[in-house]
A and B are shown apart, each in its own frame.
Chain A
Amino acid sequence: MIKKLLLFVLLAGAGVMFWTGISDYEVKQDLNPIASYYADQGLEETGAANLVTAVVVRYRGLDTLGEVVILFLTASILGFFLIKRDGKNDFRESSEILKTASRLLEPIIILAGVYVFVNGHLTPGGGFQGGAILASALILAYLANPNDSISKTLLKITESFSGLSFVIIGVLGIILAGGFLDSTLLPAGSIGNLISAGVIPIIYLFVGLKVGSELAGIVTNLKYAPKNESE
């Protein structure tokens, strides 16, 4: 009883706090200085038609690197704790419908993922989204053919290579252009072309490959993780 009362008091307190926070909220009509700078100058400075990409890769490139590093740490820790102890893992065969459908769908999903991160500077989407779509194609492959496995070495090599290239491009930006991950390393080109916006498409290519291989690695590790034998 007292527990429920305390819970109620806690909820009421949280409600009051939220209410004082949002009761005098009104939609701002003008952007704050940084946002208006991005909105005004972003297109000219980066040449990326998708302004979100311009912010994520160019102005907040270091944050993107941080996100990729966090994902990498997550994948490594999962791999560290879910080391495969027993050699064999037998999975039930999947149904014929799933197998046949996956043969049709896998190339399309992979193509969609690659499209999303190659066109990240033009249309909505980018490295993270495209990488996640790539990883989901690999998961479909796992579901359809549970006893086949994707080479872990290939995933590792892809991941390390893309991560390293991302950092190298950033450092090249310090040496040759204005700063870390400066997109003016390459000419901006004409806005709206596939090859434009400096190094943004290249960075997103590597981010996409890295995210895709990391997520696929997480799922691979979970798939082959030992079962809980304690009970």
Chain B
Amino acid sequence: MESNLNIIIAIVLGVIILIFAALAIYHKKLSVAIIAAGAVSLLASIMYLLLAAPDVAMTEAAIGSGLSVIIFFYALNKIRKHHD
């Protein structure tokens, strides 16, 4: 019973991850794409937790959805033209 619930949660998570990943690729605004990529990492870390890998989940949550989003935003801020 519990494993069935886990499988359902995993499938729902996977679908949401795919939606966010598509958003990250196809959205016109880069800032939205960066946030979507961060959301993919955050949901992936929940997935790792479900798959009994808490160590990997921690790394993914801290680096994937925290640090890399900030680094992308700094880089975006640097390369953007001045007048917009």
Closest to A216 in B: B67
Is there contact, CB below 8 Å, between B71 and A116? Answer: no
Q: Are B58 and A227 in contact (CB under 8 A)?
A: no
Residue contact A139 to B67, C-beta cutoff 8 Å: yes
A203 within 8 A of partner (CB): no
B81 contact set on A, CB distance < 8 A: 228, 231
Q: In the complex, which of the residues B57, B62, B63, B81 has the most CB atoms of chain A within 10 Å of its own CB atom? A: B62
Q: Flag if B58 contacts A124 (CB, 8 Å).
A: yes
How many A-B contacts are there with CB distance less than 8 Å?
A: 52
A223 touches B79 (CB 8 A): no
Measured between beta carbons, the chain A residues less than 8 angstroms from B70 are: 136, 139, 219
Query: Which residues of A129-145 are within 8 A (CB) of B?
Result: 129, 132-133, 135-136, 139
Expressed in whole angstroms, the Cα–Cα distance for A215 and B66 within the complex equals: 11
A80 to chain B, nearest CB (A): 16
CB contact under 8 A between A219 and B78, given known A124-B55, A129-B58, A132-B66: no
Q: Answer whether residue B59 sits at the interface, using C-beta atoms and an 8 A cutoff.
A: yes
In angstroms, Cα B12 to Cα A69, docked, is: 38
Q: Interface residues of A, CB < 8 Å — how many?
A: 23
Docked-complex contact B55 and A125, CB < 8 angstroms? yes
* A132-B66, A139-B67, A228-B79 as given contacts; A223 in contact with B58, CB under 8 Å: no
Which residue of B has the minimal Cβ distance to A231? B81
* Distance between Cα atoms of A116 and B81 in the complex (Å): 40
Which residue of the partner chain, among B55, B58, B67, B78, contacts A225 with CB atoms under 8 Å? Answer: B78
Contact-residue bracket for chain B: 10 to 19
Q: Which residue of B lies closest to A142 (CB)?
A: B70
Contact between A129 and B79, CB atoms less than 8 A apart: no
Interface residues of A in 92-140 (CB under 8 A from B): 116, 124-126, 128-129, 132-133, 135-136, 139
Residue of B at shortest CB range from A53?
Answer: B55
Q: Which residues of B contact A (CB under 8 A)?
A: 54-55, 57-59, 62-63, 66-67, 70-71, 74-75, 78-82
11 chain-A/chain-B pairs, Cβ below 8 angstroms: A50-B55, A116-B58, A125-B54, A128-B63, A129-B55, A132-B66, A136-B62, A136-B70, A225-B74, A226-B78, A227-B78
Q: Identify 20 new A-B residue pairs, CB closer than 8 A, beyond the known A226-B78, A228-B79, A228-B80.
A: A50-B55, A124-B57, A125-B54, A128-B63, A129-B55, A129-B58, A132-B63, A132-B66, A132-B67, A139-B66, A219-B70, A219-B71, A222-B74, A222-B75, A223-B74, A225-B78, A227-B78, A227-B82, A228-B78, A231-B81
Which residues of A does B touch, CB under 8 Å? 50, 52, 116, 124-126, 128-129, 132-133, 135-136, 139, 215, 218-219, 222-223, 225-228, 231
